[in-house]
Structure 1
Amino acid sequence: MTQTKHAIIRNYPVVGRARYWMEALRPKIYQYFVESDIDGSPVNRVDRSTIYQRAKRELDSQPFGTQFNVYAEGYEWMAHSIQPHDFDLMEKDPRVIIGGKDCLQPYSASILNVSAMSYGSLSSNAVEALNGGAKIGNFAHNTGEGGISDFHLKQGGDIIWQIGTGYFGCRQEDGNFSETLFAEKSALPQIKMIELKLSQGAKPGHGGILPAAKNTPEIAAIRHVTPHTTVFSPPFHKAFGSPREMMLFIARLRTLSKGKPIGFKLCIGQQREFYALCKAMIETDIYPDFITVDGGEGGTGAAPPEFSNSVGMPLMDALPFVHDTLTGFNIRKQVKIIASGKVLTGYHILRAIALGADTCNSARAMMMALGCIQALVCNTNKCPTGVATQDKWLSAGLVVDEKKHRVANYHRDTVESAIELTAAAGLKDPHQITRRHIFRRVFMNQVRSFEDIYPSTVPGCFANGQTPEHNIGMIEIDSWGQG
């Protein structure tokens, strides 16, 4: 009654405390007792159950038909064929070769891989289990921008090394990019591709902070920073300042890595900036080997709510935009596209491919395969399953030798489900699926195919310097064109 911070407790010292206790319990009660199987957010119970069942190799079928309202606006489905293809004759692990005309070490990628999650955000056991699953299942594991740790290397799985604005792992003392460290790290045989992160869906246009309390000697050694100091990741790259300089930087990374695939990841914001990147590719004749398109709906990264909720283009708008822009400039064959944004099931893989993706990355589903229960405390260091925490006691509950097999199981069964759907559509390969195969109810009595909603661009139609929104000839590639 004498404290002054909380009015409720001051006025109701006993009952008032129950209010905070109930508020803490609310998300758990809502998840387990109130919400329906199809209403859970950000991942509903139906999809979560599918992930858990596949990871554990349990029965993943369902009785009594779908629980979704098939007449509700937004419901989607895929068109099947009267004459399905024979599933037994199909390739169960389709691969995509990533590497353009200047790439000397192309990589054969799975159509589903582990999206970017750093050691530090995830526990050491979680990182090691993800990489172990990648090794078993022959797919790739993205390091996130936190650098390459021993836990990424111990299991021997394929690695995509992500380099963010902080240049962790290839950073000079002043925070600038270090060519020497990059050349040394990129020579590791486990590193199959390098991804330059421009922005991420959870917080596009926002930098990061590594608090001094979390900057342990171990983390500092991985990131090449001074331990026990606060380290800032700026919202932009200091190694280049324009689209043209960015292409030259990509070429430099390719040379330093002895020809490994180099790409970049971004969440689409101002469309004219992506047009400028395409124009810079053409004028310099330097092309990234891949572009990872991250949806503005965010992922596992903790972010300010305004950025997470209100900044960045969602994946299902960004993906066709990127594919159609590359097609319009007649450079789509030079660049592979990776889709990242709530890819959970085989249907989600095919939907992304129909919209323009070559392969997909998944973060949240891979965390759930490890045992994540969507407790929504990733940013508190109190993850009860030991996935998103640095608490040694909590992370000890995650047993690497058990969970790595669950990650591999989930990957295998989900890819095979995509192949089964492909066969049902009468197709021999998932990359044959088009926007005409996917339908969405846009109103109670109106249905549109994805081709109607996202009309395809005619190859080379931007060659005359025009797009529907901008005059390409006026777009500057020696600056970002900001006011």
Structure 2
Amino acid sequence: MRKGFIYCSALLTVTLLVGGFWVQWIWFLLLVVLPLVALGFYDLLQRKHTVLRNFPLLGHFRYLFEEISPEIQQYFIERHTDGTPISRNHRSVVYKRAKDRPATHPFGTERDPYSARYVGLRHSLYPRSPLEEGFRVTIGGPDCRKPYAASLLNISAMSFGSISDRAILAMGKGAKEGGFYQNTGEGSVSEYHVEAGGDLVWQIGTGYFGCRTPEGGFDAEAFREKANWEVVKMVELKLSQGAKPGHGGVLPKEKNNAEIARIRMVEPGTTVESPQGHREFRDAEGLLRFIAKLRRLSGGKPIGIKLCIGREEEFRSLCETMVRRGSYPDFITVDGAEGGTGAAPLEFTDSVGMPLEPALRFVRHTLVDLGIRERIKVIASGKIVTAFDIVRVLAYGADLCNSARAFMLATGCIQALRCNTNRCPTGVTTLDPRLTAGLVVEDKYKRVANFHRNTLRAARELMAGCGVSHPRELDESVFLRGVEWQHLGGSGVG
């Protein structure tokens, strides 16, 4: 699009310059064509808006549509886990916080407080002072020799290949600026993660990318080398993913270029399918032995697991095995079934796994019941966008949380829903250099850091307004629900 604009502009300008004087078009040239050409070149050269850099002139229609968004964006409304609509203003909040602008909302609420689906917070008549800025959560049990102090909000798993090199750089530099971590996703640690310099959580999936033998098994020495890099702070062993639990990933041969193949340690130009389960273990005993092995090979860094809850009895059996063996992961990342992905079979995305809130309740109850809650940190992942979402998952039992979609929006994503086509117009989820060229890392990393800082500030203010001075004081009693109004004599429950 960028080259096409340049060629067409040059051809049109030359044509009008040559023929304009003879066909009385000189005023059209001066008043219409040349200003449009000038605007198009300005779009190409400016560094703040990826859509305009990639689609000069045409990109302005996107901002025109935003101006009349109440009518247009209704078609793109998502929903909360409780079924209530996610307002278009929630996306607006991300953009405003990323740009360090006041994220205020005019006129009034867009949610019906009389709806049975309404969920709000019980504020206190005696608010507390907000939690101190820079609050950290220390991850690492007795067997961990290199514990890590994590932020309450971090970047969830997104692999190089599913997102672009520039998106990884922007998020990684933002994480370094803001003091939070970036999860690599199962595509392994790339040089772009390392170049960004932020703290990393290296995710190991069933394909063992980055620590893989030619036959697809686990390569201990390759793991030892990367796991001991300074930028790698923790290792996450992925058992399942909320967007496609029980299903392995697929790397199409079209995206498996030489660079991706080298990083993942696979053959370039081939379709690579991750197994649905791990080859290194088949039961709870084997899983815990493998976790201990990874901790030893990494020099004592925190090792955790990521899962979407399916069969409750299997998770409880795993926890009972931890108690019996006296062997534990340092953290458990609970991924809700509402979690997103660039591409997955529709049936797995829509119909498999437990949503985040009941999953967090179940995990918390199980760990408390077995007396091991204090030994294991719980990380929540799944459609976390706003400060309210952070408070919500902390109240349901998480110690901290990860978000993918919010940081994608902060990096410039406009939810064009082209993630699986390699044609993302903002350069976030494509490897096409013509499109990634529009994503300016030096601008976007500041937006990532801004969003993190401003959203945590809002979360601290929410907790303070509820009379809470520490996240551990949060529990489910902090919530108000629309169904309660009938017990208070309210009317009109929707």
TM-score grouping bracket, smaller chain normalisation: 0.7 to 0.9
Give the CA deviation at 1:444. Answer: 6.3
Residues 197-237 of structure 1 show CA distances to partners (whole Å, capped at 9, x for unaligned) of: 00101100011221222211100110011111221100100
Matches within 5 A, 1:238-317: 238-317=279-358
Q: Which runs of 5+ in 2 are unaligned?
A: 1-61, 81-85, 489-494
Corresponding residue for 2:71? Answer: 33
From 144, 153, 157, the counterpart of 1:116 = 157
Amino acid at match of 2:110: Q
From 85, 89, 93, the counterpart of 2:128 = 85
Is it true that 1:368 corresponds to 2:403 in the alignment?
no
Give the CA deviation at 1:78. Answer: 0.8
Is it true that 1:56 corresponds to 2:104 in the alignment?
no
Corresponding residue for 1:385? Answer: 426
> Aligned partners of 1:32 and 1:228: how far apart in 2?
45
From 391, 396, 404, the counterpart of 2:437 = 396
> Aligned partners of 1:172 and 1:178: how far apart in 2?
5
Question: Against the structure 1 CA distance between its residues 247 and 386, is the aligned structure 2 distance closer, same or farther, given a 3 Å change threshold?
Answer: same
Corresponding residue for 2:24? Answer: none
> Aligned partners of 2:292 and 2:454: how far apart in 1?
37
- 8 Å contact kept, 2:339–2:381: no
Question: Against the structure 1 CA distance between its residues 40 and 270, is the aligned structure 2 distance closer, same or farther, given a 3 Å change threshold?
Answer: closer
Corresponding residue for 1:97? Answer: 138
Amino acid at match of 1:72: S
Q: Which runs of 5+ in 1 are unaligned?
A: 1-24, 448-483
- 8 Å contact kept, 2:87–2:110: no
- 8 Å contact kept, 1:38–1:46: no
Give the CA deviation at 1:290. Answer: 0.2
Amino acid at match of 2:99: K
Corresponding residue for 1:128? Answer: 169
> Aligned partners of 1:285 and 1:41: how far apart in 2?
41
Residues 236-256 of structure 1 show CA distances to partners (whole Å, capped at 9, x for unaligned) of: 000111101100100010000
From 378, 389, 413, the counterpart of 1:337 = 378
What secondary structure does 2:480 align onto?
strand
Amino acid at match of 1:105: K
Matches within 5 A, 1:181-220: 181-220=222-261
Structure number having the greater helix percentage: 2
> Aligned partners of 1:295 and 1:200: how far apart in 2?
8
- 8 Å contact kept, 1:37–1:45: no
Corresponding residue for 2:466? Answer: 425
Question: Against the structure 1 CA distance between its residues 159 and 204, is the aligned structure 2 distance closer, same or farther, given a 3 Å change threshold?
Answer: same
Is it true that 1:46 corresponds to 2:89 in the alignment?
yes
How many percent of aligned residue pairs carry the same amino acid? 52
> Aligned partners of 2:150 and 2:473: how far apart in 1?
17
From 271, 276, 279, the counterpart of 1:235 = 276
TM-score, L = length of structure 1: 0.84
- 8 Å contact kept, 1:165–1:197: yes
Give the CA deviation at 1:432. Answer: 1.5
- 8 Å contact kept, 2:245–2:352: yes
TM-score, L = length of structure 2: 0.82
Corresponding residue for 2:181? Answer: 140
- 8 Å contact kept, 1:105–1:259: yes
> Aligned partners of 1:38 and 1:389: how far apart in 2?
21
> Aligned partners of 2:186 and 2:73: how far apart in 1?
35
- 8 Å contact kept, 2:336–2:353: yes
Give the CA deviation at 1:46. Answer: 1.6
What secondary structure does 1:212 align onto?
coil
Corresponding residue for 2:115? Answer: 72
What secondary structure does 1:94 align onto?
coil
* Structure 1 segments (4+ residues) deviating >3 Å: 28-44
Residues 377-433 of structure 1 show CA distances to partners (whole Å, capped at 9, x for unaligned) of: 111111111101111111111110100000000000001111011111122222221
Matches within 5 A, 1:400-411: 400-411=441-452
What secondary structure does 2:196 align onto?
coil
Amino acid at match of 2:416: A
Residues 418-454 of structure 1 show CA distances to partners (whole Å, capped at 9, x for unaligned) of: 101111112222222111111222376258xxxxxxx
> Highest Rg: 1 or 2?
2
Amino acid at match of 1:84: P
How many pairs align?
Answer: 419
> Aligned partners of 1:227 and 1:31: how far apart in 2?
43
